[in-house]
Each structure stands twice: as structure tokens, then as C-alpha cells.
Amino acid sequence: MTHSAATPASPLRAVRSGPLKGTLRVPGDKSISHRALILGGMSVGETRITGLLEGDDVLRTAAAIAALGATVDRSGTGAWTVHGRGVGGLAEPEELLDLGNSGTGARLLMGAVATHPFTTFFTGDRSLCRRPMGRIAKPLEEMGARFVSRSGQRLPLAVQGTATPVPIRYRLPVASAQVKSAVLLAGLNTAGDTIVIEPEPTRDHTENMLRAFGATVDVMDGKDGRTVRLIGQPELTGQIVPVPADPSSAAFFAVAAAIVPGSDLTLTDVGINHLRAGLFETLRDMGVAIEMLNLRDLAGEPVADIRIRAGVLRGIEVPPERAPRMIDEYPVLAIAAAAAEGRTVMRGLQELRVKESDRLAAVARGLKATGIQVEELPDGLIIQGTGGALPGGGQIATESDHRIAMSFLIMGMAAKTAVTVDDDTMIATSFPGFADLARGAGADLGKPR
Ligand code: S3P
């Protein structure tokens, strides 16, 4: 399904539920799914992907990589094949690339096309057209590409790729895996070494997958941060990519199991890459019983089955340096904080203001509407927990943000009065089947009366 301005809003209501029980698998990792399609398209030969996330964001990337000349086929649920064009072999797309709601798809593809000698036009939905693209344009222009964009360096925009790219050494001004990945993807078709320095390490799926496809990527930790070096113009060869379950989607069920009394839930095949696992550590710090079972490796990414049992949560100060390792999980962590005893302080989160919505503002508004005391800081939130029973009630303005919608539906499962979100259609951008999976575990989700 696609989510667009033309899709009518569809409210959804979560009612206090009994214990959540059982074993479930959330859909495939969004970050890894985008990267598998893009690297598949930039490799020689066949890439076979299983467990691909079939949410709108990733489907947009699949369509875009096909428009850039790769052959992309779906053979069954989550089973996709890409026949790539090889490094430097992407072709000028005839149409505009519309990445819908997906910042990751848009930004990574801008990197991929920046070092190809043609022009690509990008657009997205209302939310994506508000998000900053200057952070991508700056390094890619240093490599020789040109960006022509709307005011504020926002979409729609055109990338004029360069035929004579220069490798750069680029220090990220913000902790962003998307910017890092865009530069590395641009570095693929650039002779010489492309170097990215990150002040705080961010998710490293691009580096891991580049290595698996045959590139040389070195990583060095120093006092200045982490230095990632890619040797340009490698021969990339198609691979088999099994996609783990998305830890950012698992996060919603982990918090639900932690706060709905009596719950005992196991989430299978979840990616637990250290640079994505910050939420599970934070929940443990808050006193939640979390077990990592059956630890194993899935095509270069660590995975586990995660068992979460309900308990008493205590408020904490979340270490700000943990932010890049759980950046998408703060909205649902805020729900755990609302149910905890005492105060939870979250800082270092200015990046949350430029996600699918201004997530600090959206979370603060939602918490207030549901009877929780919260202070909104320029870079964070201070939440006064209730110590268990959540009041609930109120209608949540999701701002068309999937993670805001899912977070407050989780709250409703543990609240005295039902919580209604104004729209659930955009949940399918990252988590198709969310409501059915939740119902299967015992949640009561339905249309508001
Ligand atoms: C992503 C990186 C993060 C994250 C997004 C996915 C990725 O964004 O919020 O959902 O796949 O690289 P930033 O890199 O902009 O922080």
C-alpha cells in the first residue's frame, strides 16, 4: 500500500489489554532492506534477498533502483531478486524518483547517483519535502556533483552527477548513518579512498554489506571519532542477503511487553547489531527483564530471539552518547518512561526534530494529551513517570509519523482509558501488519466508537 496525501486518514484506538503472550517475528529491518536493494543494483550478477521489509519506504527504493536500470523481481513474500548494473553502471532514470516518506531511500540514492554522469530528479511526500537535504548536498558537491533544490535545500531537487568525481575526507557535522552511507555509496564509483569520520559511531550496515559484496572498507577508532575508509571502484558481486527482523520495530513490542502487566513475549530473529541495540540496554537499565536467546549470525549481522517480561520500571537518565544507537526508539522509550517510577531524562536528541515529524514536539504533545507530565527541552524530554498505571485518553496527532502512531497505540494497551491515534495509514511505511501482529499477541486495537 502507498501512503500519500490522497490516502484518507484512518483513526485507530488501543484499549487496555490483558497480558501479551507468545512468540512473534516483526518484519525485516528497514535499513538493511534499503541497502540490499541499492547494493544489489550496483553489483554485477544476482542478489537474492529474503525477509525484505515490504513497507512503502522500501518498495519506493525498489522502484527507484529499477528506474536506475537494475532488474528487480519479487518471487514471494519478502523474496526479491536484483540483477545489478555493476559499480558505475547505473542509467539515467526517465522519470522523477518519488521516495514517498523515506529519508533513507532518498539520501542513500542521492549518494549512489552523485558519481554517475547524469541528472536525477528526486521528490517525496509532504513530510520528506520538509526534511533537510543540505547535509547530503554538502559532501556530494565536494565530490563534484551539483544539487539544484527548493529553498532550504529541500525536495524536490535534482542531482547532477559528475563524470570526474574526487574522493573526499569528510567529517560528519551530525551523527548520521544516512550521510555517511551517501558518501560511501558515492565513493564506490570514485577512484581513490573515500573517508568519512564520525564523531559518534552510527549504524554500520552499509560498511558491513559493502564488505560482504566485495569492497574493502576499513574502520579505525581514535580519539577524534571513528574513521571509515572505502577503497574506490571495487568489483561488487551479487550476494544472498537474509534480512533480520527490525530492532526498531521490535522496540514497540518490547516496550508493550514491559509495561502491560503479566506479559511474556519472545521476538524472534531480531537484529542486535551493537549500533542499533541501545533501546534494549536502556530498558534493562530501567529494570526490565530482557533475555537474549539463541544468539547467532545472519549474513554478517548478529541476531537473537529476545524474551521480555513485564515488571516494574524505574526512571533513569539515558546517557546522551547512546542516542545514535537508538535514535528511532525514543518515541516508544517515552511511553516506557511514562509508566516508570520517577523521572526519566533524555538529552542529546536535537536530530529528533528533523525526522518524519518533529518527534520531540509530537511526543511531548501526545504525553500531555494523555495526562503525563513532560518538559520539552531544545534537545530532549524530561518525563515524570506514573509508576505503573497510565491515565490515557485523548486523541493523538500523529503528524503522519509512523513511530508516533505506534508508540501511542502501545501506550493505549497499558492505559486506563483508551488512546486513539488520528491516523494509522502511514504505519505501513515501516511496519506493515503491525495491528494484526499486536492483536495476535493479545492487544485490543480497533476503530474508535
Ligand atoms: C537510518 C539512519 C537514521 C534513522 C533512519 C534510518 C539508516 O537516520 O533515523 O530511520 O538506515 O541509515 P540518520 O542517519 O539521519 O540519523
List where CATH 3.65.10.10 sits in the chain.
Answer: 12-28+244-446, 30-242
Q: Which ligand 1 atom is the nearest neighbour of the CA of 177?
A: 14
Nearest protein Cα to ligand 1, atom 11: 31
State the pairing for strand pair 193-198/154-160.
unpaired
Alpha helices in 80-188 (DSSP H): 103-114, 134-142, 177-188
Report the CATH architecture of 12-28+244-446. Answer: Alpha-beta prism (3.65)
Cα of 330 from ligand 1 centre, angstroms: 13
Q: Which ligand 1 atom is the nearest neighbour of the CA of 351?
A: 16
Helix (H) or strand (E) holding 440: helix 434-440
Q: How high is the pLDDT of residue 6?
A: 59
Q: How high is the pLDDT of residue 66?
A: 98
Nearest protein Cα to ligand 1, atom 16: 176
Q: How high is the pLDDT of residue 1?
A: 38
Cα of 435 from ligand 1 centre, angstroms: 24
Q: What is the CA radius of gyration of the chain?
A: 21
* Cis peptide bond upstream of 234, omega within 30: no
- C-alpha closest to that of 345 among 321, 315, 322, 365: 315
State whether residue 407 is helix, strand or coil.
helix
Give the side-chain half-sphere CA count within 13 A for 175.
Answer: 22
Q: How high is the pLDDT of residue 3?
A: 46
Q: How high is the pLDDT of residue 194?
A: 99
- CA dist., res. 244 & res. 269, Å (int): 6
- CA dist., res. 332 & res. 104, Å (int): 20
Cα of 337 from ligand 1 centre, angstroms: 23
For the chain, give the mean pLDDT. Answer: 97
pLDDT in tens, 133-182: 999 999 999 999 999 999 999 999 999 999 999 999 999 999 999 999 99
- C-alpha closest to that of 319 among 279, 359, 350, 260: 279
- CA dist., res. 406 & res. 416, Å (int): 18
Cα of 11 from ligand 1 centre, angstroms: 27
- C-alpha closest to that of 127 among 313, 399, 369: 399
**pLDDT of 2 strictly over 50:** no
Q: How many other C-beta atoms can be found within 10 angstroms of the C-beta atom of residue 90? A: 26
Cα of 351 from ligand 1 centre, angstroms: 10
- Cell numbers of 59, please? 518498495
Nearest protein Cα to ligand 1, atom 5: 104
- Cell numbers of 432, please? 506493515
Amino acid at 188: L
- Cell numbers of 166, please? 574526487
Which mutation among 107, 203, 352, 401 tests ligand 1's pocket best, with the greatest number of atoms within 8 A of CB?
Answer: 203
DSSP string, 94-125: SS-EE-TT-HHHHHHHHHHHHTSSSEEEEE--
Q: How many other C-beta atoms can be found within 10 angstroms of the C-beta atom of residue 296? A: 10
**CA distances (Å), 48 to each of 39, 244, 341, 383, in order?**
11, 14, 47, 45
Residue carrying C-alpha cell 501488519? 433
Q: For residues 207-221, b (16+ Cβ closer than 10 Å) or e, as one string?
A: bbbbbbbbbebeeee
Q: How high is the pLDDT of residue 8?
A: 87
pLDDT band at 300 (very low <50, low <70, confident <90, very high): confident
Q: Which CATH number fits domain 30-242: 3.65.10.10, 1.20.120.1200, 1.10.10.10, 1.10.3720.10?
A: 3.65.10.10
**pLDDT of 4 strictly over 60:** no
Q: Could you tell me if 393 and 370 are in contact, meaning their C-beta atoms sit under 8 angstroms apart?
A: yes
Q: How high is the pLDDT of residue 122?
A: 98
pLDDT band at 247 (very low <50, low <70, confident <90, very high): very high
Which mutation among 31, 104, 198 tests ligand 1's pocket best, with the greatest number of atoms within 8 A of CB?
Answer: 104
Ligand 1-lining residues (CB < 6 angstroms): 31, 104, 176-178, 181, 202-203, 327-328, 351
Cα of 179 from ligand 1 centre, angstroms: 9
Q: Which ligand 1 atom is the nearest neighbour of the CA of 179?
A: 14
User: Using CB atoms within 10 A of its CB, is residue 344 exposed (0-12), middle (13-18) or buried (19+)?
Assistant: buried
Which mutation among 178, 202, 273 tests ligand 1's pocket best, with the greatest number of atoms within 8 A of CB?
Answer: 178
Cα of 176 from ligand 1 centre, angstroms: 6
Q: Which ligand 1 atom is the nearest neighbour of the CA of 108?
A: 12
Q: Which ligand 1 atom is the nearest neighbour of the CA of 354?
A: 15
Alpha helices in 240-387 (DSSP H): 247-259, 278-285, 330-339, 359-369
Q: How high is the pLDDT of residue 361?
A: 98
Q: Which ligand 1 atom is the nearest neighbour of the CA of 202?
A: 14
Residues constituting the chain: 449
Give the side-chain half-sphere CA count within 13 A for 169.
Answer: 2
pLDDT in tens, 405-427: 999 999 999 999 999 999 999 99
Nearest protein Cα to ligand 1, atom 15: 176
Amino acid at 42: M
Cα of 178 from ligand 1 centre, angstroms: 5
Q: How high is the pLDDT of residue 366?
A: 98
Q: Which ligand 1 atom is the nearest neighbour of the CA of 35?
A: 11
pLDDT in tens, 25-64: 999 999 999 999 999 999 999 999 999 999 999 999 999 9
> In the 8-state DSSP scheme, what is residue 339?
H
Nearest protein Cα to ligand 1, atom 13: 176
pLDDT band at 449 (very low <50, low <70, confident <90, very high): confident
Cα of 180 from ligand 1 centre, angstroms: 10
Q: What is the dihedral of CA 145, 150, 151, 154, to 10 degrees?
A: -70
Residues labelled as active-site residues: 328
Q: How high is the pLDDT of residue 352?
A: 98
Q: How high is the pLDDT of residue 389?
A: 87
Which mutation among 31, 206, 246, 249 tests ligand 1's pocket best, with the greatest number of atoms within 8 A of CB?
Answer: 31
